[in-house]
Amino acid sequence: MDVVGTWTGRAACLLQQAMRMTHEEFAERLGVSDRTITRWHSAPEKPIHRSETQQILDTAYEQAGETVQRRFALLLRPPAPRMEAQALRVAIAIVLRGDDVLLVCRRGDGELRWQFPAGMCKPGAAPETVAVQETHGETGVHCTVRQQLGERVHPVTGVVATYYLCDHLAGEATNRDPLENVDTAWVPRSALTRFIPQDQIFPPILEALEAIA
């Protein structure tokens, strides 16, 4: 490894750490005061301007030995960028066929719940594509996205839910996922709240269904 181009307080402190020395030991090794070491720790990004001190640090590094130099090189590397946790996302399809809406009846927590077809989005997957694919996978119905209705943190599951209004293209509703679902059905828009309580339906869904002639 090349000697540091310009020593900063941070680089000097990392050399001290690589040499595993106390403030007093490092100050004695360099021939500087303890106060100088303390100043480097308090202002790590500040360059060390005195050329004599730069040369002292160069010499200390060169004489430290290969093990310390490798340790110093590892410490000097910039930290790896943090990977932000990605929120779980579900794509939900509200599929229309004339005056009917497609629903699936799911198992869960010892009871059955009617809801719209939905699927978990893997990292990098387009939610609208997931909505279409999962609808077909669950029910055998082919659909196309008309518009996004919005998204929210689901009040029950806590995942980010993105909702899409979709149009039926082809296929009859059949239960193609018997492990998750017990039934699928086309239900009249006017009867939707008999299957899903109104307070559990994302309001823009109801607004969109009411706006359709």
CATH class, 89-211 region: alpha beta
DSSP 85-97: PPPPEEEEEEEEE
List the domain boundaries for the chain: 9-76, 89-211
Read off the pLDDT of residues 183-202 as tens digits, 9 standing for 90 and up.
Answer: 999 999 999 999 999 988 99
Helix axes 23-30, 9-19, angle to 10 degrees: 110
Phi and psi, residue 37, nearest 5°: -65, -45
Contact 93, 166 (CB under 8 A): yes
Residue whose C-alpha is closest to residue 93's, from 158, 144, 140? 144
Which of 16-20, 56-60, 108-112, 170-174 is least confident? 108-112
pLDDT at 1: 45
Give residue 45's pLDDT band: very low, low, confident or very high (50, 70, 90). confident
Decide: residue 102, CB within 10 A, 0-12 exposed, 13-18 middle, 19+ buried.
buried
